[in-house]
A = this chain, B = another copy of it.
Amino acid sequence: MARLQKHERLANEMVKVGIVGGTGYTGVELLRLLATHPGVELRAITSRSEAGRPVSELFESLRGHVDLVFSEPEPERLAECDLVFFATPNGTAMKMVPQLLEAGVRVIDLAADFRLRDPAVWEQWYGMPHACPELLEEAVYGLPELNREQIRTARLVANPGCYPTASALGLLPLVEAGAVDTSALLADCKSGVSGAGRGANAAMLMGEVGESFKAYAVPGHRHLPEIRQTLEWVSETPIGLTFVPHLVPMVRGIHATLYGRLNGDLDLQALYERRYQDEPFVDVMPEGSHPETRSVRGVNHCRIAVHRPQGGDMVVVLSVIDNLTKGAAGQAIQNMNLMFDLAETTGLEQVALSP
């Protein structure tokens, strides 16, 4: 099987990588991280709109680091890669992935096409028919802290959403331990503006979102079923979850404030420390801490603090990530490292830029 052959090759060779749709923030973040990744050879980056243009002309920060030119997304060229990242809008990857898998290429989709297991739920939330529902079951949800072993051998990884990453990492220990009433969990989440992408959108002008704060999508956001699905995998009961996202006037960062009603007494700090003791990218902070998003700016870490205000029965979990790194491109590279038997932290050892 082609997949295994490629897999074996890795002891000696670099992973040949392609990126489809590299003109957004997820794309440039992938490029930033891959440019200094020691185990990767970047073969192709595609963009229909920018084909022929040097990548470093679009992204000044990549001058001197990335020599590639955007190309048309030609299947033949992508088929020469060991791995293709999709950094495309929702609904694009599902049209190209079957062909690539057939050609023996492994895929990590940073969009939402393969995140939900149930095609009916996917179609309800994304408002279009799914182009390859038969792959939804095979796709592995790329949260290494939950699915590390399946990721190693996956052909197709669905890279988690940014809010779902911060929320799931914050809630998993509680749900796994059966420590909270799962009928009324609550995720009050806040994101920097880069989460909305690089497309021309008047609502995301600095003149509109600078110096202001607001909630959005309170009636329903696509990350709600994704978070619920993750928690239901580990819970024995159906999950009742309220999810309210907000927009913060900053560029990067997600802060999830997570609430649950405890159904008993237990050492929360110990629970979290135990759960994540072997995780290279989850940092359980000391009791009483308040992680700040800048402490993970540009890095693949999630920092978590767990509180029980006034010793009551409400647990409050604070979970921060960089939406573009652990919430997108960094986690994708973590998944790639797992898939290609590289050390999991390879290329992800940066220190956060703070201040």
Contact = CB atoms under 8 A, between A and B. Distances in A.
B218 A193 contact: no
A153 to B, nearest CB: 25
12 contacts: A1-B36, A60-B285, A60-B295, A61-B294, A63-B295, A210-B355, A211-B251, A212-B250, A212-B292, A214-B293, A215-B318, A219-B310
B350 A248 contact: no
Contacts of A346: 3
A89 interface: no
B63 A210 contact: no
Given A210-B355, A255-B213, A242 B314 contact: yes
Contacts of A192: 213
A251 B294 CA distance: 11
Contact of A198 (B202, B255, B351): B202
5 A-B pairs with least C-beta separation: A212-B294, A61-B354, A214-B292, A60-B295, A61-B352
Contact of A209 (B206, B291, B310): B206
A81 B47 CA distance: 51
Nearest to A219: B309
Interface stretch (A104-112, A143-151, A182-190, A264-272): A182-190
Most chain B CB atoms below 10 A, which of A214, A250, A255, A350: A214
A183 to B, nearest CB: 10
Interface residues of A, number: 95
Contacts of A28: 354-355
B314 A2 contact: no
A48 to B, nearest CB: 16
Interface string A258-288: 0101000000000000000000000101001
Contacts of A59: 354
Most buried by B among A188, A202, A251, A295: A251
Given A60-B292, A214-B293, 7 more contacts: A4-B38, A197-B207, A198-B205, A206-B251, A211-B294, A215-B255, A219-B310
A248 B251 contact: no
A352 B297 CA distance: 12
